[in-house]
Amino acid sequence: MLHFNEIKDCLKKNDISWKENESMVHHTTFRIGGPAAIFLEPWSEQQISEILRILDEKECAPVIIGRGSNLLVNDHGIDGAVLCLGEAFSEVSISEKYAQEGKVVVFAQSGASLTKLCRFCLEQELTGLEFAYGIPGTIGGAVAMNAGAYGGEMKDVVVGVEHLTMGGVKQELSAAQADFSYRHSYYSDHACCITGAYFALEKGDKQAIRRLMDDYMQRRQFKQPLEFPSAGSTFKRPEGNYASALIDQCGLKGRSVGGAQVSEKHAGFVINTGSATAKDVLDLVDVIKKTVKEKTGYALECEIKLI
Ligand SMILES: Cc1cc2nc3c(=O)[nH]c(=O)nc-3n(C[C@H](O)[C@H](O)[C@H](O)COP(=O)(O)OP(=O)(O)OC[C@H]3O[C@@H](n4cnc5c(N)ncnc54)[C@H](O)[C@@H]3O)c2cc1C
């Protein structure tokens, strides 16, 4: 039983503002989801710590989100608290920590977008993060998911991660402790709020870095249905194959349930054609999984996180 009034009283006492019944449509790239009972957008680490402590005391585990670009929120919404780390918590700077021979270390707060981090690296003539340019998430979401593209992953460049425990205590993990693997990290199994990450990069040629970033961005624009709301690749890559190739092979391109559709442009994406509900997406996901299993033997696993 959640004690919303007690939570709100504590937040008020600590001068922390919140929104009530905030539609998650506005906080997910899928543009789907019912309302969150309490929606919090902290602007400092101290505030995050206070919020976590209050919620922990009231036994209300928050859903922590960045840009919501890997999320499918259910139609009934979230009967609890959502902690959203965004623009107000998005500093990026050169760091002296984790110094290594031949490397420059960059620190980014978890609400910073990957786009902002990549542009900062370009300005500093640092190479290593080009692969992440165009992934529409924040540092927190990218580290939690070990986001990757074009042969690169967060695990290749992250050397340290800072987080707050659910009790609001600050801790730090080395890259090894962060336990990265394909679309998985320590944070897949442990509830914590990532507050920032350190990236070790090399000095490079600015024109070459820019060319690579532009190339990856163009490939995304050419291949992905960026004109429709989605949460990116719906399924993880199965061992030895590609989800999009299997879905295409099964003739599922264009298949729809309600407002959810398998993209005609990229079969790996389920898109919201305008009025999709979470139920439409989940029903379509079931059709895809069943058909692919029957016709190819592959068991697809969702990459998007269901809330
Ligand atoms: C068009 C499109 C293209 C995409 N392309 C790619 C791609 O090429 N490669 C790829 O890997 N992904 C891709 N994605 C998916 C998504 O952008 C990434 O997974 C991204 O890293 C998620 O970041 P986010 O801030 O949106 O996280 P969210 O979607 O908000 O959250 C994702 C997960 O991270 C957790 N999380 C978020 N912030 C924190 C935090 N501060 N502390 C603890 N946990 C946190 C959430 O609880 C959730 O479990 C794509 C998505 C779209 C819409």
DSSP state for residue 168 in the 8-state scheme: S
d(CA 141, CA 110): 8
At residue 87, what is the residue type?
Answer: E
d(CA 4, CA 286): 35
d(CA 271, CA 163): 32
For the chain, the average pLDDT equals 95
Residues 116 and 156 occupy one common structural domain: yes
Helix (H, G, I), strand (E, B) or coil at 94: strand
Determine which helix (DSSP H) or strand (DSSP E) holds 280, and give its type and residue range. helix 278-296
133 inside domain: yes
Residues 191 and 233 occupy one common structural domain: no
Domain boundary (185, 211, 237) is at 211
Helix (H, G, I), strand (E, B) or coil at 55: helix
The predicted-structure confidence for 81-107, as pLDDT tens digits, reads as follows 999 998 899 999 999 999 888 999 999
Residues 75 and 96 occupy one common structural domain: no
Q: What is the number of domains present in the chain?
A: 3
Residues 170 and 232 occupy one common structural domain: no
Nearest one of 145, 149, 215, 152 to 186, comparing CA atoms: 145
Domain boundary (55, 84, 113) is at 84
Catalytic site includes residue 130: no
The distance of Cα 82 from the centroid of its chain, to the nearest Å, equals 14
221 inside domain: no
d(CA 132, CA 138): 11
DSSP state for residue 237 in the 8-state scheme: P
| Cα-to-centroid distance, 293 and ligand 1 (Å) | 26
127 inside domain: yes
What is the structure's pLDDT at 100?
86
Quick check: 307 and 36 in contact, CB under 8 A? no
In this predicted structure, the answer to whether residue 140 has a pLDDT above a threshold of 70 is yes
Question: Which pLDDT band, with edges at 50, 70 and 90, does 43 fall under?
Answer: confident
Q: Cβ(154) to ligand 1 under 6 A?
A: no
SS3 of the chain: helix, strand, coil, percent, to 5 = 35, 30, 40
What is the structure's pLDDT at 250?
97
pLDDT above 70 as % of the chain: 99
Give the number of the atom of ligand 1 that is nearest the alpha carbon of residue 153.
11
Domain boundary (68, 84, 100) is at 84
220 inside domain: no
| Cα-to-centroid distance, 142 and ligand 1 (Å) | 5
The domain that contains 99 carries what CATH number?
A: 3.30.465.10
d(CA 236, CA 305): 11
Range of the domain at 206: 88-211
Tokens (6 digits) for 220: 């995304």
Contacts (Cβ under 8 Å, ≥6 apart) of 125? 203, 204, 205, 206, 209
Tokens (6 digits) for 184: 């998985």
Determine which helix (DSSP H) or strand (DSSP E) holds 178, and give its type and residue range. none
Nearest one of 7, 85, 8 to 42, comparing CA atoms: 85
Residues 260 and 155 occupy one common structural domain: no
218 inside domain: no
Residues 103 and 182 occupy one common structural domain: yes
Which of 49, 110, 185, 233 is flagged as catalytic?
233
In this predicted structure, the answer to whether residue 2 has a pLDDT above a threshold of 70 is no
Quick check: 302 and 285 in contact, CB under 8 A? yes
| Cα-to-centroid distance, 13 and ligand 1 (Å) | 32
